Amino acid sequence: MLNKIKYTPDYIIDRLSRFLLVVSGIMIVLMIFTATYGVARRYFFHSPEPYSYEISTMFLLWSFVLAVAAAERYDRNIRVDFLSSHVPDIARHIILNIASPVAGLFVCSMFAWQGFAAAMYSLKIGAVTMTAWKVPLFPIKIIIPIGYIVLCLVLIAKLYSGIAMLVRGKSEDRTV
């Protein structure tokens, strides 16, 4: 029973980050189609289409923000091992699995907090893009805090796992 409770948040975070990764992939595919459509209309039909660039920009933002949690979850991020490769295993474990998630939590929580404030402000004033299409900015901006909240959950899970491995005396890197 205790193991089920312990692994349930990890399972939920894993499923959520995988789901957002799939959504991010779909956004990239849609971005490819809209950009191709815009280019085809401009060069083949000599009829520029103003909305494909704006849609592609929205999908690009969403794909990045939604995929960053999965990149951290599966350790697919860029890591500079210049310092950590020259320290003992226990110090490397503390740097990579405890100190880095704490620093990341600080930065990502600020992004989530300020992103939520900006999204709520755009909803309050009814902000729209400055194009002929007049797209409301709230749906675009609310994705930012959602993505960073999921990233915060991933970092909390990584921090918990790093502390648990340190307490048990294991200093190997966590792999999923």
For the chain, how many helices (H) and strands (E)?
5, 0
Extract the tokens encoding 74: 């599966």
Extract the tokens encoding 132: 């002929």
pTM of the full structure: 0.84
What's the pLDDT tens digit per position in 21-44?
999 999 999 999 999 999 999 899
Residue given tokens 């805090």 in the structure block: 145
Amino acid at residue number 128: V
**What is residue 3's predicted lDDT score, i.e. its pLDDT?**
58
| φ, ψ for residue 128, nearest 5 deg | -130, 165
SS3 of residue 48 by DSSP:
coil
Q: Enumerate the domain spans of the chain.
A: 2-168
